[in-house]
Amino acid sequence: MFIGPWDSGGPWNPEGINGVHKFLNRVWTLALDAEGVGANPSPSADQELQRIMHKTIARVTDDMEKFRFNTMLAALMSFSNEMVRLRSAVSRPVWDEAVEKLLLLLAPSAPHLTEELWHRLGHDQSIHLQSWPTFRPELLEEEKVTLVIQVNGKVRDKVEIPVDLPEEQVRTLVMGRPRIQQLLDGRTLANFVYVPNRLVNLVIR
């Protein structure tokens, strides 16, 4: 299922199973070992993991319906990696929800492993009798921040941008703003200083 598009085939490589094997081992550990979860709690981490979780539900649901099993599994692998990264910062309730959603989304692809883990987590019914996870559309939207645009240290403009927008795209956006073009008319841009997700300062002469 992970080797490539379901309808395209591809050369079989027995070494390819290693990545999936590591992934399933990671799922097993995430489900049963909660040591360190919430050691350094952060509300922003809870929000981040919930946003990632709902995006994963939407992606996996769409990929399953279109038989894109390789990208579906890639999304689940990415989700598990994000859980590892945020492990110490998320609260236990959010962590437990993420674990259950991960197992539910993986159940059609790894039915025996997820069934075992589901019961080990204390559930009586089979995981395959549970409802498919749903996602909240509002959590699929890219989180935005207000970028302050300064010219020679003075605020001249503001604009909303997606969080963590690459600097090249920020530069193109800022330089295209009518107010900034007006201020730059006939003058030289000496420096472009970008503080991610906060501000841009243009030094002009």
pLDDT in tens, 165-200: 889 999 999 999 999 999 998 899 999 999 998 999
Q: Which residues of the chain have pLDDT under 70?
A: 6, 9, 139-142
pLDDT score of 11: 73
Q: What is the C-alpha end-to-end distance of the chain, expressed in Å? A: 58
**Would strands 144-151 and 154-162 be described as parallel, antiparallel, or unpaired?**
antiparallel
Residue whose token pair is 């981490």: 45
pLDDT score of 5: 74
pLDDT score of 204: 93
pLDDT score of 151: 95
pLDDT score of 142: 66
| pTM score, whole prediction | 0.69
pLDDT score of 164: 80
pLDDT score of 111: 97
How far apart, in whole angstroms, are the C-alpha atoms of residue 103 and residue 57?
Answer: 11
Q: What is the dihedral of CA 68, 71, 74, 76, to 10 degrees?
A: -50
